[in-house]
Amino acid sequence: MARHLADAGYEIVTVLNRSPLPTDLNASVVTSAAEVARMSEIVITMLPDTPDVERVLLGQNGVLEGTSAGKLVIDMSSISPIDTAEFAAKFRQAGTGYLDAPVSGGEVGAKAASLTIMVGGPASEFERALPIFQKLGKNINLIGETNGAGQTCKIANQIIVALNIEAVAEALVFASKAGCDPAKVRAALMGGFASSRVLEVHGERMIARTFAPGFRIRLHQKDLNLALESARALGVALPGTATVQQLMNACSARTGGADADHSSLVKALEFLSAHELSNGKE
């Protein structure tokens, strides 16, 4: 994503974090998030969880320490809508704009600049950020002018994706244990009303047993936790989401399970059914 912005002519300033920067990115590396904010007109964060965002934005040497009036913070993490609104309020007190803009599309979408971007915040700030978003994604929507609206939409996205993965896993395990070739069942279903991107991509992963992470179980667990916490606050029933979260918990309990791709949810259903897709006919 940073490379797409650099290729578009944006000057990149970053803090050196877990992995070295690509040599062709030509970014300026500084020692703190506060320094990034001092040197930048727009600051973009994309981190695993709410506490990570809070630390980088509001912690010691965080973005808030280096920001000033007229700047804009865009958080593209997938985190709590409630905390997002609180973070935004602190930046607005400093005269800094704030957008929550979580994404969907995974590593493939990031590399292809085809991400779906769900934005919460004032329309004027959205318009300011739109040229940046257009370098990163294709389906870009202002969900609402209140901070947290983008995060709420992302939670809805993760509910749908999780339940679709669970449905595909159930269907393939069912068909396989009944004696059908799951690959042929998947191919047939791709031509009907059951067709979906999850069936296409994750159904193939389940059958081929390719669970190297595109999106890790532990990150989807975090998103479903956010969904269930928000549902309790709103008084909304999410029974399917709660069930899938328990299946993910079961996968995560296995050694290495938390860092496997979320399509590995099928393993929990295979265990409950005493049948693995790769076993073929029984």
> Is-catalytic flag, 90?
no
Residue type, position 15, single letter: V
The Cα–Cα gap between 262 and 156 comes to 17
Nearest to 150 by CA among 118, 106, 104: 118
Residue type, position 191, single letter: G
Burial of 197 (0-12, 13-18, 19+ CB in 10 A): exposed
Nearest to 249 by CA among 215, 221, 211: 221
Q: Which of 71, 90, 135, 154 is catalytic?
A: 154
Contact call for residues 118 and 158 (beta carbons, < 8 A): no
The Cα–Cα gap between 108 and 113 comes to 8
Catalytic residues: 154
